Amino acid sequence: MNETVARRLTGLAGIATAAAFIVEVPLYFIYSGSPPDSNVLARLLIGILALAFLIVFVTAFRELVKGANPAYEWVGTIALASGLVYATITLVSSGLEAGAVIAADHPIDPTITVSGTYILYGAIGRLMLALFLTAVGYGISRTHLLPRWTDRSAFILAGVNLVFVPSLFFGNTPAHFYAANGWGTTALMGAIFSYWMLALGICIYRSATRLAPADSPALRH
């Protein structure tokens, strides 16, 4: 696969991931009480699709880093591994929620009822996403794949995710900002990551049409 095709694939995967997450997040706020099963299952299905696209993205991103500078292949591998772990634990969380909703004989709010997902969506997810973002930012900064704002924003977002790792000590009320399953820990951080991924995906896709040497400043403006 040549670099142009690789960048387009990576960019499209990033855009598809972001689009699915952006559609999913608002579905959590439509109902004030326990949402109907259709709402929960729809948002989980959209989230599962987003994670499938994310797997494609992290795999393709590793190849981009490796192609740009083989000396930093290990950074791309960390991004791949942490991205896969993040996708896996989120898929497990989605499965637990979907199973509980399907089995229940009345509407339930799985963000409260399914206690096994609190730390998976919260502290564990935030830590794995911080590792992923740090690897992506470092890989971009060392190989000069993309403009400087991409690696700098990745580092900032990684730091913000780390701030939410201790949220597991602050209860399980979704209406609270900093709870283990609070709207700040889960929904807000998910939304911010979605729009960052959208911007990154567009940037990578557009870079395929104006390729420059890896050490050229043309891609760093």
CA atoms of 186 and 200, how far apart (whole Å): 21
CA distances from 84 to 19, 38, 149, 167 (A): 19, 28, 24, 23
Confidence of residue 158 (pLDDT cuts 50, 70, 90): very high
Summarised one tens digit per residue, pLDDT across range 74-94 is 999 999 999 999 999 999 999
CA atoms of 79 and 137, how far apart (whole Å): 9
The pTM score is 0.90
CA atoms of 24 and 98, how far apart (whole Å): 15
Return the DSSP state at 167.
Answer: G
Summarised one tens digit per residue, pLDDT across range 192-208 is 999 999 999 999 999 98
Which pLDDT belongs to residue 218? 41
CA atoms of 36 and 25, how far apart (whole Å): 16
